[in-house]
Homo-oligomer: A and B are copies of this chain.
Amino acid sequence: MFSKACEYGIKASIFIALNSLEHRRVGPKEISKEINSPEAFTAKILQALVRNNIINSIKGAHGGFEIDKKDIKTIMLADIVNAIDGDNIYKGCGLGLQQCNADKPCPMHEKFKLVRAELKNLLESTDLESLALDIKLGESFLKN
């Protein structure tokens, strides 16, 4: 469904949000440990999230990654997916036609667009804060 990079990006963002709610900065080492991902690769993805203004980085000693507290509830999963995997999952044809076009649809178009719309709605309506709070309450987990 999502690329590995995107999965790591989402989980990392949630973990950073969780910590930012408690004014803690975290680095790639701690993040990759908590989300069970390769450290160096995760660091690359964090860089991409920084470039896309989803998370902030503070360089130097006592640095790390954080998210402005006020932004945590306005950052949606869709923002992260878009930054890493692009918008193909929202807009692309399920059978890989060059463009999904209702005027010249692929055989799956009518049914597929419903699934795609539901996925889009999920991603656009889910914010980082609610996901972080679920973790905090022990109702969900970032690794198993």
Contact = CB atoms under 8 A, between A and B. Distances in A.
Contacts of A2: 94-96
Interface residues of A, number: 40
Number of copies of this chain in the oligomer? 2
A14 to B, nearest CB: 6
Majority secondary structure of chain A interface residues (helix, strand, loop or mixed): loop
A62 interface: no
Contact of A126 (B111, B118, B135): B111
Interface of A: 1-2, 4, 7, 10-11, 14, 77, 89, 92, 94-99, 101, 104-109, 111-112, 114-115, 118-119, 122, 126, 131, 134-135, 139-144
23 contacts: A1-B92, A2-B94, A2-B96, A4-B96, A7-B96, A10-B95, A11-B95, A97-B141, A97-B143, A98-B144, A99-B144, A104-B141, A105-B140, A106-B140, A106-B144, A107-B134, A108-B122, A108-B126, A108-B131, A111-B122, A111-B126, A114-B118, A115-B118
